[in-house]
């Protein structure tokens, strides 16, 4: 028996950013200390943030910028040191998945004395999270990660060749404001790779060992919404952006309860060692893993219909087309991966909590075959 639980208040639609002051008021912050964490200083120019300084609001605001992709232990420790003395009661994270990961991680760190990068590494490794002292609100500026509605954060540790996770069921966002207007101006490459990341979230949630009826329904709706509107996204239409925002959010709600599986597991070393954008890496893996998992997945006809394809080969062609049309390679060779390094990358692709969540057993040998198929 698998249950579904997600407490995030989700507000979605063009212009919903204006709800932020009321959301913060509803949080009933004792001292009104709010950290606005943005991907760029440009986000602070939105009128809604100047409203937080108005005379009828009781907020004390600190602003911080975080511009690193794939945040590391080093990056997280630096922003923690810069903001810990302010000790915000709420963090408003505005940006893509990296900003969300940092924002929700900070909520788990405030109120604790962490003296060094090594101490932070040990804190994460030892799962010493406890109850977060700070709440957060997620405002995505990309449509793909769904991080605004999940309770875990990915923190990279390249010095140890590891991907680490900070997770706590008490660390779901208080609210998520999913405004497609926030994604305007996103580069096409990023928009497409982000959308395909969300497709992977939906598909992997659908077949994960821990799937449930609610997640499966959300996953099918998310996958269909994204795949049927990719042409609108590629054409730069507003309805494409809105569809991606909706699909990404629903995929996030789906896998918030199931986590991901082999595609994400195998993709992590590709991003760490070759800087392949996460969405591109995971989407290239979707078709071969789809073919591998077909025999162990109930409801495959419904999933194929949502994807808008007839089989795994058709899926590979469609995803490759999306990547190439957005100006990015659709093969490992195209991304500069060395063929002789595939066996080593396969070994690193056995990520605990992801590889063992796959409906069909995978091994390093299996992964090596998959990597060769997309080389």
Beta bridge partners of 155: 164
Beta bridge partners of 175: 9, 137
Length of the chain (residues)? 375
Is 290 within 8 Å of 374 (Cβ atoms)? no
pLDDT in tens, 158-190: 888 788 889 899 999 999 999 999 999 899 999
**Measured on CA atoms in the order 323, 66, 31, 60, is the torsion positive or negative?**
negative
Helices and strands (DSSP H and E) totals, the chain: 15, 8
pLDDT in tens, 103-130: 999 999 999 999 999 999 999 998 878 8
Q: How far is residue 14 from each of residues 49, 238, 246, 249, measured CA to CA in Å?
A: 17, 10, 11, 14
d(CA 221, CA 200): 13
CA 35 from chain centre, in angstroms, equals: 21
Beta-carbon contacts of 222 under 8 Å, excluding residues fewer than 6 positions away, are 198, 199, 201, 202, 246, 247, 248, 249, 250, 251, 254
d(CA 158, CA 153): 16
Beta-carbon contacts of 179 under 8 Å, excluding residues fewer than 6 positions away, are 12, 13, 14, 15, 16, 17, 139, 245
| Domain definitions of the chain by residue range | 9-181, 187-373
Task: Name the DSSP class of 178.
Answer: E
pLDDT in tens, 225-273: 999 999 999 999 999 999 999 999 999 999 999 999 999 999 999 998 9
Q: How many CB atoms lie within 10 A of CB 371?
A: 24
311: pLDDT strictly greater than 90: yes
Long-range contacts made by residues 336-342, C-beta under 8 angstroms, separation at least 24?
A: 336/274, 337/270, 337/274, 337/276, 337/375, 339/375, 341/273, 342/368, 342/371, 342/372, 342/375
Is 178 within 8 Å of 19 (Cβ atoms)? no
**Measured on CA atoms in the order 103, 107, 108, 110, is the torsion positive or negative?**
positive
pLDDT-based confidence at 57, cuts 50/70/90? low
55: pLDDT strictly greater than 70: no
Return the higher-pLDDT residue of 167 and 290: 290
pLDDT-based confidence at 1, cuts 50/70/90? low
Q: What's residue 49's pLDDT? A: 82
Q: What's residue 54's pLDDT? A: 65
Beta-carbon contacts of 355 under 8 Å, excluding residues fewer than 6 positions away, are 261, 262, 265, 349, 362
The closest of 124, 119, 122 to 104, measured between CA atoms, is 124
Is 71 within 8 Å of 156 (Cβ atoms)? yes
Q: What's residue 101's pLDDT? A: 96
Whole-model pTM: value is 0.93
Instruction: Judge whether 9-181 and 187-373 match in fold.
Output: no
Give the chain's mean pLDDT.
94
The closest of 98, 173, 174, 175 to 142, measured between CA atoms, is 98
d(CA 20, CA 24): 6
Q: What's residue 8's pLDDT? A: 98
The pLDDT > 70 percentage for the chain reads: 98
205: pLDDT strictly greater than 70: yes
What is the CATH T-level fold of the domain 187-373, as seen in this structure? Answer: Dehydroquinate synthase-like, alpha domain (1.20.1090)
d(CA 209, CA 139): 30
53: pLDDT strictly greater than 90: no
d(CA 191, CA 64): 24
Q: Tell me the three state secondary structure of residue 165.
A: strand
Q: Tell me the three state secondary structure of residue 95.
A: strand
DSSP H or E segment with residue 358: none
Give domain 9-181's CATH architecture: 3-Layer(aba) Sandwich (3.40)
């Amino acid at each position: 028996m698998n249950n579904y639980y997600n407490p995030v208040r989700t507000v979605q639609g063009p212009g919903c950013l204006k709800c932020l002051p009321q959301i913060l008021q509803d949080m009933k912050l004792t001292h009104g200390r709010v950290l606005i964490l943005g991907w760029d200083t440009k986000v602070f120019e939105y009128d809604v943030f100047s409203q937080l300084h108005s005379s009828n609001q009781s907020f004390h605001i600190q602003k911080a910028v975080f511009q690193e992709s794939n945040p590391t232990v080093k990056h997280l420790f630096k922003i923690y040191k810069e903001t810990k003395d302010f000790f915000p009661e709420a963090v408003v994270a505005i940006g893509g998945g990296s900003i969300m990961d940092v924002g929700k991680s900070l909520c788990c760190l405030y109120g604790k004395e962490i003296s060094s990068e090594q101490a932070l590494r040990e804190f994460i490794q030892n799962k010493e999270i406890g109850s977060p002292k700070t709440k957060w609100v997620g405002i995505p500026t990309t449509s793909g990660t769904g991080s605004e509605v999940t309770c875990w954060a990915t923190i990279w540790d390249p010095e140890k060749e590891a991907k680490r996770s900070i997770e706590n069921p008490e660390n779901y966002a208080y609210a998520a404001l999913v405004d497609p207007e926030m994604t305007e101006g996103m580069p096409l490459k990023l928009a497409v790779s982000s959308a395909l990341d969300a497709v992977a979230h939906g598909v992997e949630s659908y077949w994960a060992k821990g799937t449930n009826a609610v997640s499966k329904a959300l996953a099918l709706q998310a996958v269909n919404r994204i795949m049927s509107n990719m042409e609108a996204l590629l054409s730069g239409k507003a309805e494409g952006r809105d569809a991606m925002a909706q699909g990404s959010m629903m995929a996030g709600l789906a896998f918030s309860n199931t986590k991901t599986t082999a595609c994400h597991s195998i993709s992590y070393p590709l991003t760490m060692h070759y800087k392949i954008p996460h969405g591109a890496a995971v989407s290239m893996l979707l078709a071969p893993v789809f073919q591998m998992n077909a025999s162990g997945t109930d409801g495959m006809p419904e999933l194929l219909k949502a994807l808008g394809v007839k089989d795994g080969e058709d899926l590979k062609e469609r995803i490759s087309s999306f990547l190439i049309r957005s100006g990015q390679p659709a093969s490992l060779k195209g991304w500069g991966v060395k063929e002789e390094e595939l066996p080593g990358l396969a070994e690193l692709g056995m990520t605990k909590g992801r590889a063992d969540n796959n409906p069909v057993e995978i091994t390093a040998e299996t992964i090596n075959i998959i990597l060769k198929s997309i080389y």
